[in-house]
Structure 1
């Protein structure tokens, strides 16, 4: 199996230090970031100070694990120094040295200049972020690069390109790809026109970039598709053979071409196969996206997904396109059979590597587990629950809510106390919605005495999260719903003394938020008191009901008078406040002051 044999074991990335194995999603994220930060810090010192790491004790010797020098070794102004800066990805230093070479009258070869253009257009005229630098959001980085290239007319790439005494297709290719990458679409097409005017032939990379930019050059869907077809026709005329990325660019652009995308996307896949080009996972993901957007939710998507899975069944893929890792996020329909087939495909060969980083893995398993909870019997859900958690997936609070709903659907609420232990271990015991939903399920209907007793123990454990020491801050704040549900659960288990303690302390402190409509709760309370024939508690309950101005108070008084033998002191102390109550018996929450 492609996942661990022991589902309770930690992921393989945590095997080096079992003591620090995470137990919650927060710990998982902290551990993963700390581990990666440690690697980056070690690599920084090894690469920055290689002279301190000259001795190699490793057996066998592994060259790729040896330190790489990132320090500049050539100080002179020469083409060799420029090549060194390009190889070390020192963008600004390479541009400065190139300018110095031109000022000195030194001619730089075409190949080196093209490599410099490649470097500049790849990183947007900025030095790449080093691994030891703070993480910067991808959106912010791309925005900086787009603004730089779109609004600086004479950026380094265009300036160097204009100074080149001779240019070839590689030169134009670097500039076009850079312009498309950072949003200068019109400039990219103008540069392509300039290439044709200079009687040069574009390479496949230029066409791939222009095809991906085509939807941004036209407003109407049919005009966008016509532009794509025109580019493909020009490829054929210039005898440029398309590759897999070419067709993927067409399919990705089709997603922005409206209704005509459905028929055309299938033709594109057919053309790929006719040319002997095997589609990648990204190709199929684009097709699924086209059909999912164009079709209604109940038609089209499931059928095309089935056809795709039939074709991919039993195949192992490797990364060929940056969008390959999006394929396994196609679990948007409610077809459990298809979900199982996608999950089985994930286990074929090395396909699991295309699932992406830990964040993407969490999204995938979250969707898969959500489908299981909605569509499968609870026994199947629990089987997968034991296999996935925590070895492969740390569920969030929504995932645990899905599990509670599955327990409710198949009438297995008796398992809630066991799930509560997992909720606490996963660190979700501070999620108000999750805790209150669990309490609501346990309080909704009476169970067998054994189950009811386990519910009561669970409710007392939940209560400890609300009520802590004087200096300790409670994890949760009392609400009318949680207070009433815990009381109902304890009453059903005949833990009356505990309930009285809760009401005498917490309920009175939170009288403003008490739900005045919980009349049935008061009746249950009185019934529990009747079992022990405690007239004093009955009188105390009457006082509590009257203090909240509950409409059921007169009924409670009548029932207490009929079912309990009251002393004169209890009669005088217990009913003296009723006649002077300011509430008229309304159960409206606005009457509870």
Structure 2
């Protein structure tokens, strides 16, 4: 009787799913003499377990889940080039110049391919991709609706055909067809966004008129590309946006918002404020986008710092009166404008940050970047108190994963690392980098230029403050997968090697200098040669130094336009002498003559010592003659040493004796 009861009790102690299966067995055990209390306990346990059972809903996985899971198991290969350059190993950039050229070429090819696909969509109708990737499919850019209708206007707006949309709008007005306010809003947004011009499609070849316009701009006044683009997109008086706005029988805040934001975006700051005054006169309330645009334009309409802050405060008060809730971009616009208010910025920026937190608006990375820029505006203002601000920011952000909420978010990490470098604060530098490695924060490093800026500053900080073993560890991790060091970065690495007495690694660093394309930087190469020639080392190290010096000589020999300096020739000669490569060192003396460079007396004295060690009296005589040819003041001393230290025949002794006496100075 006990065995069946134990069997049932065992299942009672199991999970709820087993209780459902064995409940019949439980009641069947009455014949075996189970007490009513045990039966009641089992029944209650079953009810409790039944209530605790939660049937999970079906888990839906996205189509990229498997790829994401596989990607999470793969670590970055520090020895590999960036992913976007791995299509062809032969074309993978090995220098910073090649990196820039490859990036531009890749972007140009991508734009040309996109233009071809969008211009010929009928040739690309089949999609074999799984999962479907919409951005790789041809866009619908051809107009399908030709009749005059609001649907045709909306089609032109969706395809960003500015001129065609304006033309269709005018035709609708001429035909007496009313256009809905929603469609009018979209049209004004389109015109103001592109400053009443059709956007340039990627890969579109320039027309002759556009080329002539650019050439005329170049002839009028030479300027940078950004300045030229800015002038071409300047807001013009009475453009189509203003004309359509003035034709509207009724104008709401959305219409004003489109024009005000367009005016601010394209440089008509004063006009934007005038239009805002018109909005208030019509008893309308502005939206948050209007205030954001006007706040960002404050530094361009006011010259004095106190006037700028007064206008910002006035706009914020008007937001409060109109019951417009500010958003993140509002406060970021205020902080960005405060950066141009000099000493007032340090006073009011903490108040702005506290106001954000009081409203429950979480700051973004751009917010903290503005704060840091305000307090570190001048290098002279850097100090322990200001570095405490950076430390507080990093403590608040520690372990946080970010998403981009402001275009200026990508500036934070480079700015923070610059402050660490300027103040030589290695601990905070590590904290900044640990924040970059949280989640996908590395995506907020920005484009390739911003990324190179960040890692370049981090590497320079390591070279200045960290032990050489740690520096080399980081060097192998980020070069070339994340950073192509510039010449100054390689100089800092050489100085770090010198500080920790690891000059034996200089030949290895020279190979990296060549692979990075910096072997044509004369000052960097001279720094390398100077460090190798400064002190004497073991025979093995001197042999590697001599091989490195000969490699430098061959590289410079391939570039006839590169001028040899006297110091470079001297350093190579000394390195060859220390490695007992007398013949190759003697060839360097011939190079002195060919390049019209004068060797130093100390170098010739080293040559004479090498001649004595190799028992070469004839070379010693030639050395004295060479010194006399250069009219060096050390010639008599060299002649005396030669007569005393070498066994010369009568002819050699006669030649050297002529230079033994010091030449008389001409009056």
Question: TM-score of the superposition, structure 1-length normalised?
Answer: 0.92
Deviation at 1:480, TM superposition (A): 0.9
Q: 1:14 aligns with which of 61, 85, 91?
A: 85
Is residue 101 of structure 1 aligned with residue 155 of structure 2?
no
Cα distance in 2 between the residues matched to 1:57 and 1:467: 55
Equivalent pairs, count: 573
Alignment of 1:385-534 (within 5 A): 385-468=475-558, 473-474=559-560, 476-504=562-590, 506-511=591-596, 513-514=597-598, 518-534=600-616
Is residue 309 of structure 1 aligned with residue 405 of structure 2?
no
Q: Deviations over 1:268-307 (max 9, x none)?
A: 1111111111100000000000100167122433111000
379-388 vs 441-450, greater mean Cα deviation: 441-450
Would you say the 8 A contact 2:115–2:204 is kept in 1?
Answer: no
What's 1:590 paired with?
A: none
Cα distance in 2 between the residues matched to 1:60 and 1:214: 47
Unaligned 5+ runs, structure 2: 1-71, 207-223
Alignment of 1:524-563 (within 5 A): 524-563=606-645
What's 1:156 paired with?
A: 240
Is residue 29 of structure 1 aligned with residue 106 of structure 2?
no
Q: 1:268 aligns with which of 326, 341, 352?
A: 352
Deviation at 1:358, TM superposition (A): 1.1
What's 2:109 paired with?
A: 38
Would you say the 8 A contact 1:48–1:69 is kept in 2?
Answer: no
Q: Deviations over 1:493-514 (max 9, x none)?
A: 221111112212x111122x33
210-219 vs 349-358, greater mean Cα deviation: 210-219
Say which SS state the counterpart of residue 417 (structure 2) adopts: coil
Would you say the 8 A contact 1:465–1:474 is kept in 2?
Answer: no
Deviation at 1:72, TM superposition (A): 1.7
Say which SS state the counterpart of residue 326 (structure 2) adopts: coil
Distance 1:97 1:579, change over 3 A: farther
Cα distance in 2 between the residues matched to 1:3 and 1:286: 36
The structure, 1 or 2, with the larger RCO (C-alpha pairs under 8 Å, 6+ apart) is: 1
Is residue 184 of structure 1 aligned with residue 268 of structure 2?
yes
Deviation at 1:64, TM superposition (A): 4.3
What's 2:209 paired with?
A: none
Deviation at 1:186, TM superposition (A): 1.2
What's 1:67 paired with?
A: 138
Unaligned 5+ runs, structure 1: 587-593
Cα distance in 2 between the residues matched to 1:36 and 1:72: 28
Q: Which has the larger radius of gyration?
A: 2
Say which SS state the counterpart of residue 563 (structure 2) adopts: coil
Distance 1:208 1:263, change over 3 A: same
What's 1:282 paired with?
A: 366
Q: Deviations over 1:60-115 (max 9, x none)?
A: 43444332111222223332222112111122222233233333433322222221
Cα distance in 2 between the residues matched to 1:186 and 1:277: 30
What's 2:652 paired with?
A: 570
Cα distance in 1 between the residues matched to 2:354 and 2:666: 76
Cα distance in 2 between the residues matched to 1:185 and 1:302: 36
Cα distance in 2 between the residues matched to 1:83 and 1:244: 31
Q: 1:251 aligns with which of 324, 335, 351?
A: 335
Deviation at 1:575, TM superposition (A): 5.0
Would you say the 8 A contact 1:491–1:499 is kept in 2?
Answer: yes
Q: CA RMSD in A?
A: 2.3
Question: TM-score of the superposition, structure 2-length normalised?
Answer: 0.82
Deviation at 1:413, TM superposition (A): 0.8
480-489 vs 50-59, greater mean Cα deviation: 50-59
Cα distance in 1 between the residues matched to 2:576 and 2:133: 65
Say which SS state the counterpart of residue 323 (structure 1) adopts: helix
Say which SS state the counterpart of residue 300 (structure 1) adopts: helix
Would you say the 8 A contact 1:2–1:347 is kept in 2?
Answer: no
540-549 vs 218-227, greater mean Cα deviation: 218-227
Q: Deviations over 1:364-384 (max 9, x none)?
A: 111111111111111111010
Deviation at 1:22, TM superposition (A): 2.3
